[in-house]
Structure formats: structure tokens, C-alpha cells
Amino acid sequence: MSLELSEVRKSYGSREVLRGVSFTVDDGELMVLLGPSGAGKTKTLEIVAGVEEPDSGKVLINGRDVAGVPARKRGIGFVFQDYSLFPHKTVFENIAFGLRVRKDGEVKRKVEDIAEEVRILELLDRYPGEISGGEKQRVALARALVIEPDLLLFDEPLGSLDQNVREELRKVLKEIQVKEGITTVFVTHDYTEAIALADRIGILKRGRIIQFGDPDDIFYRPVSREVAEFTGMTNIFEGRVVGSSKAGSLISIDGLEIKVDGQLPVGGVTVCIRPESIMFLRPDRKSTFENSFKGRVAGVESFGSSMHRIAVDAGKRFFINVPNHVVEKMGLATGKEVEISLKKEKIHVLTERRA
């Protein structure tokens, strides 16, 4: 099933929550709707699910306008941010609910099958009040999946879980989504989650999609400083184009000169470099990349379970993500003299007009 939103608007009084949201998710794709809280992400999902009505605009499921189709007939599995398991029903009854209202003949078998798939078989007789957050999440997933939905919607489902449980559930979720090939919209404010899951990403801010595209587009080629800041682009500098030809351009960032691809108009630009794009040079090697700078480590902190984030002063302060083993091998510690280098094609430049 494909999903298309076209110019969807929603206001409460004078407060515009959605200001013309449009995007398309192809059959079997997982789209991540990424944005800060209050951007309108939940409202977008609720309108797709049919539990809220848009003021204007269209929602098309498989090309069919679903205006006026009640939520119960849309065939959508919705996993809520707070899980919303029915507190007075057991885990079994929660999962069975959608099958029972459909008068399905194989309730027991289907509930047990899905419970086995998300590994909660032993929880079926418990009440939601008696299980952990991660387990509730699995139950909510099972409850949404068991009705064999055409479309799955997730509203920040991993938000309140701790890191290990999150990473594990993310894997489970992606596995099932790929295996079943269910078109999915996943809402989050966490760009690392977006990278881990998305086929496509839409950045939603203040009720509007400000960029829509493949993860690579969003993360390496943001259309604005706003998107760059939101997607973990740690190195954003204002500079000036000091020389440009077809072969490339030279940008000065307060005197630090960086070579980039492509011809640019002379004037102010914004330079964006991802923290994974910068390499530490081994002392015995010479840089094969176009840009290299000498500097000093200004700070080291862990970043996720397998990475560190290193701050380096090299004319400007750069933030660089490197795997733990590199930190160890190169002895990266505060005060150490280092040389960093980066390819010119890894540098994204926003000209003033676009920024």
C-alpha cells in the first residue's frame, strides 16, 4: 500500500498545527517523520489513521482518498507513544481485541503466533500494569501487527525506553517491517533512530515538511542550516567563497581555507561537514584527501555504545565521530597534537540564497 498526503492542514483556533503537509511513501517503504516536539508529527499520524480530521488537504491510501472513511475501516496498525494498552485487559486480550471485533475465527492461533514472533509468549496472561516498558512496546507492536494492517504507524514508540532496549527493539521492528513488507510511517525526534530505520525521511518543523528525501540527501545534503542543525551536522561554519572555477572552489572560514567541489558564486556561504566525514591521519601517513589541518584534541566523550566524539581545535573547532578502537589505537586524548583530513566531496555548501 502506498500513502500520500497532499497539503494537509489542521488548526486549533488560531494555532496552526499542520500548515500544508505533503509527502509520499511507496509500497513497502519505511518513512521516518523526523522533527522536534510540537512540530505536528503526532497530529499527522492521527490524521492518517483517521482519528482526527484535517481542515483541508487529502490523505490517499493506495491512491484512494480516505476522507470520511472511519478509523476502524482504514486497516491501519497504530503504535502509540504511551503504548495505550487497555489496562483492564490481559496481554492476550489486548492483542486479541482487533481480531475479536473482526470476528476472526482463529484468534488464539494468531495471537500466539504473533506473540512468539515478538517474543512475549510468556506474558499473555499478565496485565499491562505488570510488565516492563520494553515488554509493553512489544505487546503494542503485536496488537498492531496481528490485524495484518496495510499501513503501520509508530508514534515515538521507543522514546521512553533505555538505550539497550531501544536498539534491540529497533532491530526487531525493522526485521518484521522488512519481512512483512508493510508500508510504515515512524515518528521520532531522534536522528540516530532515523538513520537506523529509514528508507525515506521527512523533516517536519512547525507544521511543515522542510525537507523530504533519502537518508543520504537529508544527512549529507541538507537544504538549510535548520535541517543541518537538526540532523546532527556538528560542523557548521559561516565562510566566504574566495576563489571558484569549474574544478572547484576555495572557501575561507575566518582564514581557514577549505577546498570544495563545484563552482560557487562569490559571497557568503554556510559550510556543513558531518562528524563521521572527518578522518584522523596516522602520524606516519600523508593525507590523500584535499583538505588537511593540524590541530589539538580539546575534548573526548563517548557517543553511543561503539563511538566517541572528539573535539579538535584546528583553526576552528571540529567535532568528529570515530569508532572506539580508533580512539584507543591512536591514543586520542585531550591535548594531543593531531592532523585531521577530509574529502572535498564530503563537504556540503549552502549558498546564502538557500541557507
Partner 1 sequence: MVLEGDRRINLYLMVVGFLGIVIFALPFLALFLRIEYGQMLIILRYPEVKASIVLSMITALVATAIALFLGLGLAYVLAFWEFPFKAALDTFSTLPMVLPPSAAGYILLLAFGKFGLLGRPIYRLFGVSILFSTYAIILAQVFVITPFVIGAAKSAFLDINPNYIRAAATLGADQLTIVKEIILPLSKKGILAGTIMAFARAIGEFGASVMVAGLLQTMPIAIFNMAMRGTRDEANIIAFILILISFTMLFIFRHYMGERR
Residue numbers at the binding site for partner 1 (CB under 8 A): 46, 49-51, 70-74, 76-78, 80, 82, 84, 86-88, 97-98, 101-102, 143-144, 147
Q: How far apart are CA 133 and CA 136, in angstroms?
A: 5
- What's the closest the beta carbon of residue 199 comes to partner 1, in angstroms? 23
Backbone angles phi, psi at 13, to 5 degrees: 60, -125
Amino acid at 163: Q
Cell for 6? 497532499
Q: How far apart are CA 184 and CA 27, in angstroms?
A: 9
Nearer to partner 1, 73 or 353 (CB): 73
Q: In what order do the strands lie in the sheet with 56-61?
A: 15-25, 3-12, 56-61, 64-65
Q: How far apart are CA 293 and CA 353, in angstroms?
A: 29
Nearer to partner 1, 98 or 202 (CB): 98
- What's the closest the beta carbon of residue 149 comes to partner 1, in angstroms? 9
- What's the closest the beta carbon of residue 111 comes to partner 1, in angstroms? 13
Nearer to partner 1, 49 or 227 (CB): 49
**Are residues 85 and 140 in contact, defined by beta-carbon separation less than 8 angstroms?**
yes
Long-range contacts of 7-16 (CB under 8 A, 24+ apart): 7/56, 7/57, 7/58, 8/44, 8/47, 8/54, 8/56, 8/57, 8/58, 8/59, 9/54, 9/55, 9/56, 9/57, 10/40, 10/43, 10/47, 10/52, 10/54, 10/55, 10/207, 11/55, 16/207
Nearer to partner 1, 46 or 135 (CB): 46
Nearer to partner 1, 143 or 205 (CB): 143
- What's the closest the beta carbon of residue 325 comes to partner 1, in angstroms? 44
- What's the closest the beta carbon of residue 70 comes to partner 1, in angstroms? 7
Q: How far apart are CA 354 and CA 18, in angstroms?
A: 23
Nearer to partner 1, 78 or 230 (CB): 78
- What's the closest the beta carbon of residue 140 comes to partner 1, in angstroms? 8
Beta strand pairing call for 30-34 and 200-205: parallel
Q: How far apart are CA 296 and CA 332, in angstroms?
A: 10
**Are residues 215 and 276 in contact, defined by beta-carbon separation less than 8 angstroms?**
no
Residues with Cβ within 8 Å of 13's Cβ and at least 6 positions away in sequence, in order, are none
Residues with Cβ within 8 Å of 305's Cβ and at least 6 positions away in sequence, in order, are 163, 167
Nearer to partner 1, 69 or 121 (CB): 69
Nearer to partner 1, 1 or 76 (CB): 76
- What's the closest the beta carbon of residue 254 comes to partner 1, in angstroms? 51
- What's the closest the beta carbon of residue 79 comes to partner 1, in angstroms? 9
Nearer to partner 1, 86 or 122 (CB): 86
Q: How far apart are CA 19 and CA 348, in angstroms?
A: 29
Measured between alpha carbons, how far apart are the two ends of the chain, in Å? 36
- What's the closest the beta carbon of residue 194 comes to partner 1, in angstroms? 23
